């Protein structure tokens, strides 16, 4: 027999507590007293003895009887509280519906009406968005009922939710099938966009739910034509307020043939179709056309805007383009504007201040004065006021080619004469004991001592400008060969004369092929010049006078005022009103052999060169004319103070 030693304040308390724990009746427990309450302990100490009882001796479990409609539940003696489960069905006690936990007494009978579902699968088809989709509003209830477990507890609480379970039943009427779905869609005249696997989705609905059974094919949106711009934000034609120092401010310039904008063609949209088979039109793709102003054109496919000339590209609005090849600045060129470098014409309605520059691929016109600045133009320059200091280059390409032709022609002429006289010396009786190289060396030392220096000068000029298109590899080789055999011990080389003869022939051919065509309108016009350097590939015109300036002109020179000090080298006709001055340094004027010099009044201390012939003017003259006629330099002059 099992036993256990326990302690408690009273024997009755021990029986009640352990009868509940062991699920026995109090009379089935035997207590043997070990210690009674004393001074040291107020509790009973007993040995608890009980006998194992068969199952029938335990409390009887609660009973549940099914009559086909409801369960009749008879709680056992141990059940004190009954907890309903409304989701599973209705619980009644003594004719009263119970929704909250309630107390039960011995002999009470609880009625449980379980929820029974016959099964239901129905839907309602809803046309949405004017035929863009069909939605089935599904109500799906599985057939079945709740059943009560066979074994109910004897605990104090009987929670119905713990002892009921769902039992499925065979489908009955009220369950629509897939054929019904297709029939409903056909009745609505749904002919497009039925979704695959839709029946499985409907069957998966529990309770209420929505399932899209058909949906339209939406139209594909068109791709609109796009603009790729290479110029920048649209702007107006007012250029005066823009800074034009293109290196400092990084204002964009383009070359001829540059692409200013490109259009990427769009594509039309694809029409769609709603669930009833009606067409859903696609929106029209947006296209555009370029608007062209001056100096631009479209490519053959009309997709690109191309510059007709170099200049500043402008975008007047979203689609209008032009290239501006004329730059107008209605203010001074100063530190606020920066320097100007522009591929077209430049017009300045002000002055050009010190330290700045204007480089133009076209013409330059300055309404004011230019002070210690640099001007370069390819098509001519006009300064309405004064030029003080600085440098002006007009037609740089023509200046360079003219100088190149002059140097090569001079080297050719001197070398040709030198070789001819060397051949004469070799054939003379007095040179029988001399080698050809010694004869060449002797002729150069006596008659052509400047020839080595000239060959060095030509080589330096050619190498400094070797990137120009007229400088060929053959010319460079010829010039270097000339320098090699004309300087140092080069003339004494046994091969010097044959090589120099070939060089002379090459120089003759190069000079004949090199033509310098100076544009008729290439000119530099200025009111007054002082302390400046001028290189002009065309003509030069000064309306008042020049002072202490270095002027090199390939064309004609016209000075309506005074020319005092400095140097003038001209390739064309020269006309000066007053030349030189008594209290200034000497004035030098050089004209080509075919030119003509006219001076209305010439002071003393003037040097005039016609080709290589030097004429010194030691006293003042009127109506001075100098020119070459029949190989001789003629000087016509009228003394100011005749004797």
Q: Tell me: the pLDDT tens digits for 155-172?
A: 788 899 999 998 887 766
Give the closest residue to 12 by CA, choosing from 44, 58, 47.
Answer: 44
Taking 70 as the threshold, does the pLDDT of residue 554 lie above it? yes
> End of a domain among 11, 31, 57?
57
Q: Phi, psi (5° rounding) for residue 212?
A: -80, 115
Q: Is position 509 within any domain?
A: no
Q: Cα–Cα distances in Å, from 383 out to 348, 376, 476, 477, 523? A: 10, 13, 39, 42, 11
Give SS3 for 394. strand
- Is 0.85 topped by the overall pTM? no
Distance separating alpha carbons of residues 605 and 207, to the nearest angstrom: 123
Distance separating alpha carbons of residues 237 and 17, to the nearest angstrom: 108
pLDDT of residue 187: 93
Contact call for residues 120 and 127 (beta carbons, < 8 A): no
Contact call for residues 354 and 335 (beta carbons, < 8 A): no
Question: Do 168 and 76 have their domain in common?
Answer: yes
Question: Do 366 and 446 have their domain in common?
Answer: no
Distance separating alpha carbons of residues 224 and 317, to the nearest angstrom: 19
Question: Do 69 and 201 have their domain in common?
Answer: yes
Question: Do 133 and 187 have their domain in common?
Answer: yes
* DSSP notation for 103-128: E--TT--EEEEE-EE--EEEEEEEEE
Question: Do 412 and 375 have their domain in common?
Answer: no
Tokens representing residue 444 in the block: 């150069």
Lowest-pLDDT range, 19-28, 38-47, 549-558, 600-609? 19-28
Lowest-pLDDT range, 12-26, 280-294, 422-436? 12-26
Question: Do 122 and 79 have their domain in common?
Answer: yes
Q: Is position 481 within any domain?
A: yes
Burial letters for 364-385: b for 16+ Cβ neighbours within 10 Å, e otherwise?
A: bbbebbbbbbbbbbbbbbbbeb
Q: Is position 332 within any domain?
A: no
Distance separating alpha carbons of residues 230 and 20, to the nearest angstrom: 96
Question: Do 100 and 190 have their domain in common?
Answer: yes
Question: Do 183 and 74 have their domain in common?
Answer: yes
Lowest-pLDDT range, 59-63, 138-142, 443-447, 538-542? 59-63
Distance separating alpha carbons of residues 568 and 533, to the nearest angstrom: 10
Q: Is position 329 within any domain?
A: no
Question: Do 488 and 630 have their domain in common?
Answer: no
> End of a domain among 503, 535, 566?
503
Number of domains in the chain: 5
**Greater model confidence, 396 or 174:** 396
Q: Is position 493 within any domain?
A: yes
Tokens representing residue 334 in the block: 């100063």
Question: Do 70 and 199 have their domain in common?
Answer: yes
Give SS3 for 54. coil
Give the strand order in the sheet containing 320-324.
291-292, 320-324, 312-315
Q: Cα–Cα distances in Å, from 252 out to 103, 178, 297? A: 95, 71, 19
Lookup result for tokens 């109090």: 26
Q: How confident is the model at residue 516 (pLDDT cuts 50, 70, 90)?
A: low
Question: Do 291 and 344 have their domain in common?
Answer: no
Question: Do 35 and 70 have their domain in common?
Answer: no
pLDDT of residue 244: 45
Distance separating alpha carbons of residues 525 and 383, to the nearest angstrom: 6
Lookup result for tokens 């009470």: 108
Q: Could you list the residue range(s) of the whole structural domain that residue 89 is in?
A: 61-215
Q: Is position 514 within any domain?
A: no
> End of a domain among 503, 536, 568?
503
pLDDT of residue 447: 87
Q: Is position 334 within any domain?
A: no
pLDDT of residue 55: 44
Q: Is position 330 within any domain?
A: no
Tokens representing residue 581 in the block: 């001055």
Q: How far apart are the first and last CA of the chain?
A: 178
Distance separating alpha carbons of residues 535 and 395, to the nearest angstrom: 8
Give the closest residue to 382 by CA, choosing from 528, 534, 525.
Answer: 525
């Amino acid at each position: 027999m099992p036993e256990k030693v326990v302690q408690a304040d009273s024997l009755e308390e021990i029986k009640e507590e352990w009868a509940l724990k062991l699920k026995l009746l109090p009379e089935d427990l035997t207590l043997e007293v070990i210690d009674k309450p004393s001074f040291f302990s107020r509790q009973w100490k007993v040995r608890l003895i009980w006998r194992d009882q068969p199952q029938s001796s335990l409390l009887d479990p609660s009973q549940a009887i099914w009559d086909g409609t409801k369960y009749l539940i008879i709680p056992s003696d141990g059940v004190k509280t009954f907890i309903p489960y409304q989701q599973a069905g209705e619980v009644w006690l003594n004719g009263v519906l119970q929704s909250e936990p309630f107390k039960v007494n011995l002999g009470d009978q609880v009625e449980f009406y379980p929820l029974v579902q016959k099964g239901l699968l129905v839907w309602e088809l809803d046309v949405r968005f004017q035929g863009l989709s069909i939605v089935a509003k599904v109500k799906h209830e599985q057939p079945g009922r709740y059943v009560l477990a066979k074994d109910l507890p004897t605990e104090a609480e009987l929670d119905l939710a713990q002892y009921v379970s769902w039992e499925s039943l065979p489908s009955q009427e009220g369950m629509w099938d897939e054929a019904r779905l297709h029939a409903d869609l056909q009745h609505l005249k749904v002919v497009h966009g039925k979704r695959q696997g839709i029946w499985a989705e409907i069957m998966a609905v529990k309770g209420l739910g929505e399932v899209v059974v058909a949906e339209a094919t939406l139209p594909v949106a068109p791709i609109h034509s796009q603009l790729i711009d290479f110029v920048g934000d649209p702007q107006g034609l007012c250029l005066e307020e823009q800074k034009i120092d293109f290196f400092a401010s990084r204002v964009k310039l383009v070359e001829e043939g540059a692409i200013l904008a490109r259009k990427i063609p769009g594509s039309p949209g694809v029409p769609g179709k709603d669930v009833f088979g009606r067409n859903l039109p696609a929106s029209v793709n947006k296209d555009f056309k370029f608007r062209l102003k001056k100096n631009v054109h479209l490519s053959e496919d009309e997709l690109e805007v191309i510059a007709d000339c170099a200049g500043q590209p402008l975008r007047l609005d979203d689609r209008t383009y032009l290239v501006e090849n004329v730059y107008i600045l209605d203010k001074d060129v100063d530190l606020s504007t920066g320097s100007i470098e522009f591929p077209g014409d430049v017009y300045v309605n002000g002055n050009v201040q010190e330290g700045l520059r204007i480089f133009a691929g076209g013409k330059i016109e300055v309404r004011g004065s230019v002070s210690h600045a640099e001007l370069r133009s390819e098509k001519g320059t006009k300064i309405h006021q004064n030029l003080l200091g600085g440098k002006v280059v007009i037609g740089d390409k023509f200046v360079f080619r003219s100088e190149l032709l002059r140097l090569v022609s001079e080297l050719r002429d001197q070398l040709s004469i030198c070789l001819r006289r060397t051949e004469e010396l070799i054939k003379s009786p007095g040179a029988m004991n001399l080698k050809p190289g010694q004869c060449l060396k002797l002729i150069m030392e006596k008659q052509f001592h400047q020839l080595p220096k000239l060959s060095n000068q030509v080589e330096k000029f050619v190498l400094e400008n070797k990137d120009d298109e007229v400088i060929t590899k053959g010319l460079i080789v010829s010039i270097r060969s000339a320098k090699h055999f004309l300087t140092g011990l080069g003339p004494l080389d046994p091969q010097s004369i044959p090589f120099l003869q070939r060089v002379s022939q090459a120089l003759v051919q190069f000079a004949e092929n090199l033509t310098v065509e100076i544009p008729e309108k290439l000119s530099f016009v200025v009111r007054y010049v002082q302390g400046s350097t001028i290189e002009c590939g065309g003509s030069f015109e000064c309306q008042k006078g020049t002072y202490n300036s270095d002027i090199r002109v390939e064309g004609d020179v016209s000075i309506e005022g005074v020319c005092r000090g400095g140097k003038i080298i001209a390739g064309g006709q020269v006309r000066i009103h007053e030349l030189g001055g008594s209290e200034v340094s000497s004035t030098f004027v050089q004209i080509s052999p075919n030119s003509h010099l006219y001076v209305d009044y010439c002071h003393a201390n003037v040097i005039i060169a016609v080709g290589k012939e030097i004429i010194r003017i030691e006293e003042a003259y009127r109506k001075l004319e100098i020119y070459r006629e029949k190989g001789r330099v003629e000087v016509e002059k009228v003394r100011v103070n005749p004797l």
